[in-house]
Structure 1
Amino acid sequence: MTPQIRITYRPNSTPLSYTASPFKLLCRDICLALRYAWALPFAFLPLRIGRTDHLDELYPSVRTGVSAGFQVLLAVYQVLFLLSIPVAIIFMVPGVWIFLYILATVTLNHVFCMVVLNGSQRLIVSRVPVPEQPSHSDERWFFINGIAGSHSWVQQNVDQLSYTFGRKITGIHNRTYGQVATQSITIVLANSIFRSGFVFDLIECLIQRCFSYATGDIRSAYPLVKNALLDPTCQKVVFILHSQGGIEGGLVIDWLLDALPHDLLQHLEVYTFANAANHFNNPTRKWFPKSNGSHSSTLLEQDRSVGFIEHYANTVDIVAWIGVFHFINIPNRYMGRLFVHPGSGHLLNQHYLDPMFTLGPDHKVLENNPFMDMEVETNSEKMPEEDCEQTLLPTSDSQGSPDKIDSQVLRVKDFSRLWKYRNGGSPTD
């Protein structure tokens, strides 16, 4: 039986446009997070400790223990810090002492995160021994991680991506601290506060998503992707995004759509996992035959600006519920095909790559796994209009067509373009 997930929209809860008032968006996002808070405990489940590979985020090791333990302590530290500010104001602590307290707390928080979690490198390149084929010399592969991404976790991410797709992967480290700033003195103070750890990273996500604010990692990613697309020796740019990286990658794409001609954007391919963005643009471009030096009214060809976009999400992942699941069915809001995996968890290696692109003992992707062999239906079943419901099968949208049909049985692997890149392969364009 084909697994299904039912996503419900009610007429009075249509999401705001992502160009609406940032403060209204912020309020809606907070309510949305509370609505799906039930899924938060499943972000790290299943643990699969006995079956995890050394590249998995929760693989039992000293490095994992130090990183995870520090993140827990940091989360408690940050929550207590945020709660202490209104208490200090209520008890009328002098402003200068509150300022010094904030300065000392934030400085200590930042120093510990830089030393223990972040490191000094913005770019993290895969370092596993994967021989690249000569046909890959005209490709560039980039990755942006999600929240609470320590240097070691991002290194594990790019290494597993490298094994999976047989290419060198360059990770743009979305460090576990925010760099939020505006012209107002209030947000300048926030820039000093939201600088490190899981709790502050969540606040940074809200600011990025609701205010469309470009933090340092977004500004680092944009020229890398843009220059690769402008490089005449580069014929393909693959952009892989996870969680908060979906917000950042979406903003990068917005900038690219403004800056580059569409024929160059056709070389860009985007693949997201647990995308947290509230929009994902890919406008239609139209071609008209020329007649006597002017455009005729006859449409010759129509396609999307960005070459390919695919989204992958677990059914029990709070980030997917407040991101891609919540917005995917809004027309022209969230472009790309969606692949739904009936499982839980939010970690990239452990809960997405492992079940979807399962590696064997030789670090090669196995040709079969339960997700890619899952049967799918090509058309979504419309529910009664008064309920405003729609059932989303493992795949949705209609970008492209399956590569093969075996006795009329369609499987996820027949639709997934990313699957064709496994073990150094390439799809047929």
Structure 2
Amino acid sequence: MTCQGEEGTPLPYTASPIRLLWGDLCLFVSLIGHLPGIFIPLHLCRTGPLDEFYPSVHNIFIVAVHLLLAVYQLSFLISLPLMVLCMVPAWWILAYLAIGLGLSYGAVMLFLNGFEQVLVSKVPVAERPGHERERWLYINGIAAGHRWVQMNIDQLSYTFGRRVTGVHNRTAGILFDLIECLIQRDFSFATSDIRRSYALVKKALLDPECDKVVLLLHSQGGIEGGLVIDWLLDELPHDLLRHLEVYTFGNAANHFNNPRWTKLARPESVQTPDLVHQFGQSIGHIEHYANAGDIVALGGVLHFVDIPNRYMGRLFVRPNSGHLLNMHYLSTMFTLGPDMKVLESNPFMDMEVEPWATAGINGFSGPPQRVRYRPTVARDEAFLPAALSLQRFQPNGTHRVLRVKDFSRLWQYRNGGSPRECRPTDQYDH
């Protein structure tokens, strides 16, 4: 059974689920050397109270529970085929399976998850006029219990100066979470948190009192958010979907859809309406942020982004490792100061943007002070011209260096700010 498509490219996400599963297992084995990149760099002495590995009693307890669960679940999974090989009666195996899964479920619910399915940020933020017409939603990744999800949405709230609602993608333990990721990604199976997220996003988009919906996704949340988007594209018209913005971190999905559309622009005002069109993409804006040494991103967005029309949205790659949302993504890309406001400068946002080289994403070998950026018509035609209007023609004739912060729309939301909106045709005026 092959784990690749034509010409050595990854299988299309609509391929046989069994072939997709085999392909993902092959991909994981090939990336196994990057596994430590999930947790490092640790830098425990630099962590803050909202970081996942901040050495507090609660976080130490959570890590200990995860380690014990990993040992228990691995032993449980190994024991099942051994029982079959030893010809243990079927009803004994079923009883063992029920007891084993029941103990695991009880432990994660008691020690990690709690029973809240939707959480809201609790930190004080001074929302600005107009923020009441925005909805900010977040879906977490694997191994995130109640406390870590609350920490995630609290840091997101500080970072962007908005109230953030989190749909809790409950953890079942690291190993069982990985199995769930494979089921969601390869079989397009919608778990209860995906259905709940879809209902909340759709309700917000249909709300006449809401002008903008911002969906934030991390890790496995990228898989879930991708399935939510597939459903939304099936049901909602472009004039509603354009109010949706999606921002992902360490995205684990194998595809991210955002089809392009065209239509005539004000035919009554032109003599040749068939030659004048408005065109863009269904969802207003999509951006992906990834660490180059993050195994989840390497098996997700960074693995599939080279395939045309497979992974829509602008991609920013930081040449470092780490997978935890607060500790490795937000704290390095949207660094908070002592006053819990985003600093106006950090090494990632100050990186120079250079044209994409032949090495591609997975072959990134550039100097650490630069980030490679490849504009493509499929992903970036709605954003690129306005960004490039910043270029090269300064009043004194000097060349302007473009940096990540010049391209990142999410950066403009820091500390309660908002991007400058433009007319649909403005993007083609440059």
> Taking structure 1 as the reference length, what is the TM-score of the superposition?
0.89
Partner of residue 394 from structure 1, selected from 358, 367, 372: 372
CA contact (8 A) 2:51 2:327 kept: yes
In structure 2, distance between residues paired with 1:235 and 1:107: 44
Question: Any idea what the Cα deviations from partners look like across 1:46-66, whole Å, max 9, x if unmatched?
Answer: 111101010000000110011
Match of 1:418 in 2: 410
Partner of residue 44 from structure 1, selected from 22, 28, 39: 39
In structure 2, distance between residues paired with 1:31 and 1:89: 25
CA contact (8 A) 2:13 2:254 kept: yes
CA contact (8 A) 1:117 1:150 kept: yes
* Deviation (angstroms), 1:382: 3.6
Q: Answer yes or no: is 1:144 the counterpart of 2:120.
A: no
Q: Answer yes or no: is 1:79 the counterpart of 2:67.
A: no
CA 1:203 to 1:426, structure 2 compared with 1: closer, same or farther past 3 Å? same
In structure 2, distance between residues paired with 1:31 and 1:362: 46
Q: Answer yes or no: is 1:354 the counterpart of 2:331.
A: yes
Match of 2:13 in 1: 18
- In structure 2, the residue corresponding to 1:409 is in which secondary structure? coil
In structure 2, distance between residues paired with 1:283 and 1:34: 32
In structure 2, distance between residues paired with 1:283 and 1:356: 28
CA contact (8 A) 1:165 1:422 kept: yes
Please tell me the root mean square deviation across aligned C-alpha atoms, in Å.
2.1
CA 1:70 to 1:390, structure 2 compared with 1: closer, same or farther past 3 Å? closer
CA 1:106 to 1:356, structure 2 compared with 1: closer, same or farther past 3 Å? same
Match of 1:408 in 2: 400
- For 1:419, give the aligned amino acid: W
* Deviation (angstroms), 1:297: 4.8
Of stretches 27-36 and 390-399 in structure 1, the one that deviates more from structure 2 is 390-399
Query: Which of the pair has the greater relative contact order for Cα pairs under 8 Å at 6+ separation?
Result: 1
Match of 1:372 in 2: 349
In structure 1, distance between residues paired with 2:267 and 2:243: 28
* Deviation (angstroms), 1:289: 5.1
Q: Answer yes or no: is 1:281 the counterpart of 2:257.
A: yes
Partner of residue 110 from structure 1, selected from 96, 105, 113: 105
Unpaired segments ≥5 residues, structure 1: 1-8, 177-195
- In structure 1, the residue corresponding to 2:292 is in which secondary structure? strand
- For 1:416, give the aligned amino acid: S
In structure 1, distance between residues paired with 2:129 and 2:138: 22
Question: Any idea what the Cα deviations from partners look like across 1:175-226, whole Å, max 9, x if unmatched?
Answer: 01xxxxxxxxxxxxxxxxxxx2110100100010000010010000001000
- In structure 2, the residue corresponding to 1:36 is in which secondary structure? helix
CA contact (8 A) 2:137 2:165 kept: yes
Question: Any idea what the Cα deviations from partners look like across 1:309-359, whole Å, max 9, x if unmatched?
Answer: 000000100000100001111111100010001111100000000010000
CA contact (8 A) 1:324 1:334 kept: yes
Partner of residue 308 from structure 2, selected from 324, 331, 339: 331
CA 1:291 to 1:342, structure 2 compared with 1: closer, same or farther past 3 Å? closer
Match of 1:32 in 2: 27
* Deviation (angstroms), 1:396: 2.9
- For 1:41, give the aligned amino acid: P
CA contact (8 A) 2:285 2:313 kept: yes
Partner of residue 54 from structure 2, selected from 46, 56, 59: 59
In structure 2, distance between residues paired with 1:258 and 1:17: 19
- For 2:327, give the aligned amino acid: Q
CA contact (8 A) 1:43 1:347 kept: yes
Partner of residue 427 from structure 1, selected from 419, 422, 430: 419
In structure 2, distance between residues paired with 1:103 and 1:16: 35
In structure 2, distance between residues paired with 1:299 and 1:24: 44
Match of 2:244 in 1: 268
Runs of 4+ in 1 over 3 A off after TM superposition: 9-12, 289-292, 295-299, 388-394, 403-407
Residues 295-310 of structure 1: pairs in structure 2 closer than 5 A? 297-298=274-275, 300-310=277-287
In structure 1, distance between residues paired with 2:206 and 2:358: 42
* Deviation (angstroms), 1:389: 7.5
* Deviation (angstroms), 1:288: 2.3
Match of 1:99 in 2: 94
CA 1:383 to 1:64, structure 2 compared with 1: closer, same or farther past 3 Å? closer
In structure 2, distance between residues paired with 1:250 and 1:315: 21
* Deviation (angstroms), 1:13: 2.2
In structure 1, distance between residues paired with 2:39 and 2:364: 28
* Deviation (angstroms), 1:404: 3.7
Match of 2:181 in 1: 205
CA 1:291 to 1:369, structure 2 compared with 1: closer, same or farther past 3 Å? closer
* Deviation (angstroms), 1:391: 8.3
Match of 1:245 in 2: 221
CA contact (8 A) 2:5 2:11 kept: no
* Deviation (angstroms), 1:76: 0.7
In structure 2, distance between residues paired with 1:203 and 1:420: 36
- For 2:174, give the aligned amino acid: F
CA contact (8 A) 1:275 1:319 kept: yes
Q: Answer yes or no: is 1:128 the counterpart of 2:105.
A: no
> Taking structure 2 as the reference length, what is the TM-score of the superposition?
0.88
